[in-house]
Amino acid sequence: MKLIIDNLSKTYANGIEALQNVSLEIPKGMFGLLGPNGAGKSTLMRTIATLQEADSGTVALGDINVLKQKNELRQVLGYLPQQFGLYPKISAEVLLNHFAVLKGITNKSERKNLVKALLHKTNLYDVRKQNLKGYSGGMKQRFGIAQALLNNPKLLIVDEPTAGLDPVERNRFYNVLSELGEHTVVILSTHIVDDVKELCTNMAIINQGQVCLKGNPLQILEELKGKVYKKTIEKSELSFYKQNYKVISEKLFLGKPTIHILSDVNPRDGFTLINAELEDVYFSEIFNHSNSKSI
Ligand code: ADP
């Protein structure tokens, strides 16, 4: 079973074209939808989750016509939105049990076993009696995953789940997500390159409402082989390099800017060839896409 998005477009009333003919085929496993803030990721996630309408295009999950058969889709959907409220004065165990009742799991012992299994799966079992008020950001996100899994979804959408998590919490969250991919279509929408690097077997980059790259991260990396060069420069030289080279990223290293540039030939001039990382792919796509639009 696959999720097939075909020519999806959405323009908001204020004229912003949040999605422009977006087409993607998303197989089982972990799929990373990567793009900067404002790229259209949430619009796409909410549309697939049947929470808002598109102007045109189709979405199919197996034989479910997602945009028309909303109820059918909702039965097999798990959705963790960017922000969600939780009842603070209740424990994770009680709230999860409550959500399970709402999802129609009426058999008490079945429900108890399911809640227990999900608390284990999301590494919350030891803190299951604590009120959610005392949970850290990462614990809340893992609780979000537990509730999204209650109906054993065929499609799981997680929208910007690691934003705001510290590195330790992010890793715990990755561990939970990495267990899920095999039997489910999991879409992870994020602006954090590491999320995709760690978890995803397929990916797409979206910018200004358009898909600018899709494929397997390893193959995508191959295409940049021999084209990314690095140099540490002085701060005062930055504008010179930006004018004369395709600077795809700049980072401070020990207080000095280190730039990565894209070049088909060796630029010499103190640059060294480096192994491209997914971050270079991301920045070069955003660079090329934004430049081609401004011409
Ligand atoms: P992302 O999730 O990648 O940050 P969004 O889908 O939230 O992107 O937003 C895409 C674009 O659509 C942005 O320019 C945003 O300002 C705009 N946008 C999002 N929601 C609305 C809305 N309800 N009304 C008008 N514009 C919106």
- Tens digit of pLDDT at every position of the chain (295 positions): 899 999 999 999 999 999 999 999 999 999 999 999 999 999 999 999 999 999 999 999 999 999 999 999 999 999 998 877 778 889 999 999 999 999 889 999 999 999 999 999 999 999 999 999 999 989 999 999 999 999 999 999 999 888 888 888 888 888 888 888 678 999 999 998 988 988 899 999 999 999 999 999 888 888 889 999 999 999 999 999 999 999 999 988 888 999 999 999 999 999 999 999 999 999 888 888 877 765 4
Domains of the chain, each with CATH number or no CATH: 3-215 (3.40.50.300), 222-294 (no CATH)
Through-space distance between the first and last CA atoms of the chain, rounded to whole angstroms: 40
Ligand 1 lined by 12 (C-beta under 6 Å): yes
User: What are the residues whose beta carbons fall under 8 Å from the beta carbon of 58, sequence distance 6 or more?
Assistant: 4, 5, 6, 7, 8, 65, 66, 67
The alpha-carbon radius of gyration of the chain (Å, integer) is 21
- Taking CA atoms only, the protein residue closest to ligand 1 atom 12 is 18
pLDDT of the residue at 293: 67
Q: What is the DSSP letter of 52?
A: S
Ligand 1 lined by 34 (C-beta under 6 Å): no
Ligand 1 lined by 22 (C-beta under 6 Å): no
Residue 186 parent element (H or E): strand 185-190
- Taking CA atoms only, the protein residue closest to ligand 1 atom 25 is 12
CB distance 48 to 66 below 8 Å: yes
Beta-ladder partners of 45: none
Counting every residue written for the chain, the total comes to 295
Beta-ladder partners of 32: 188, 203
Ligand 1 lined by 39 (C-beta under 6 Å): yes
pLDDT of the residue at 112: 96
Q: What CA–CA distance (Å, rounded) separates 164 from 172?
A: 14
Distances (CA, A) of 259 to 197, 241, 268: 21, 9, 14
pLDDT of the residue at 51: 94
Q: What CA–CA distance (Å, rounded) separates 114 from 105?
A: 9
- Taking CA atoms only, the protein residue closest to ligand 1 atom 16 is 38
pLDDT of the residue at 75: 92
Kind of pairing between the strands at 29-34 and 64-65: unpaired
CB distance 12 to 53 below 8 Å: no
Extract the tokens encoding 178. Answer: 């990495």
